[in-house]
Amino acid sequence: FTDLLASFRAKGLGVADLVWHSGAHTIGISHCNSFSERLYNFTGRSVPGDAGPSLDAEYAANLRRTNCTTRTDNTTVVEMDPGSFLTFDLSYYHGLLKYQGLFQSDAALITDEAARADVESVAKGPPEVFFQVFARSMMRMGMIEVKTGGDGEIRRHCAVVNN
Ligand SMILES: *[C@@H]1O[C@H](CO)[C@@H](O)[C@H](O)[C@H]1NC(C)=O
Ligand SMILES: *[C@@H]1O[C@H](CO)[C@@H](O)[C@H](O)[C@H]1NC(C)=O
Ligand SMILES: *[C@@H]1O[C@H](CO)[C@@H](O)[C@H](O)[C@H]1NC(C)=O
């Protein structure tokens, strides 16, 4: 959590931004090898206050059995927000509170008191509150180190520098 927050702070963002940005994991998929360390080198379920982030043991066992059957699997995809991975909703936060955040960065959010309070508060709904705080936080991100005048370029394809 400390590392995540430090990288957000370095860009002028804060705890709430970290929590709302992570909410983007309500949609999308991941490859097993992005988190299989947590499935195959798991040191035991920790609780907030303990050293490590945590993953629900039953959920982890199910992922090992059904989805990421080997540690090196880099082809199978899993839903980041199971059952709701195409819907922008609150279930990512509900999952977090059940220790079902897929990544360490997800699990880390509930290890910090202030971040956990944000998660608990938004998880109660209504979803419109999440939509609003997410949108504002995205706008704040969009204002990081904006280039103006002749600096930089507008990309024709967002993933690559123009050639
Ligand atoms: C398992 O995790 C520990 C602690 O993060 C790490 O030091 C060790 O290298 C890992 N083992 C393997 C086989 O990756
Ligand atoms: C996936 O793993 C295989 C076997 O280890 C490796 O040859 C391949 O390059 C990997 N693919 C990616 C996209 O990392
Ligand atoms: C794991 O695989 C099962 C069977 O294909 C699938 O129904 C389930 O959605 C997968 N779980 C995740 C988290 O993607």
The ligand 3 atom at the shortest distance from the C-alpha of residue 62 is: 1
The topology (CATH level 3) of 1-143 is Peroxidase; domain 2 (1.10.420)
**24-34, pLDDT tens digit by residue?**
999 999 999 99
Q: Which residues are annotated as a binding site for Ca(2+)?
A: 26, 81, 89
- What pLDDT sits at residue 163? 87
Q: Which of 68, 85, 87 is nearest to 77 (CA)?
A: 68
Q: Where are the alpha helices (DSSP H) in 44-126?
A: 57-66, 91-97, 104-109, 113-123
Do the Cβ atoms of 11 and 76 come closer than 8 Å? Answer: no
Series of mean pLDDT values for 10-residue runs along the chain (163 residues): 97 97 98 88 48 72 90 94 96 96 94 97 97 97 93 94 92
Phi-psi region of 58 (alpha: psi -120 to 50; beta: other; left: phi over 0): alpha
Distance 59 CA to ligand 2 centre (A): 26
Closest C-alpha residue for ligand 2 atom 1: 74
Predicted TM-score (pTM) of the model is 0.84
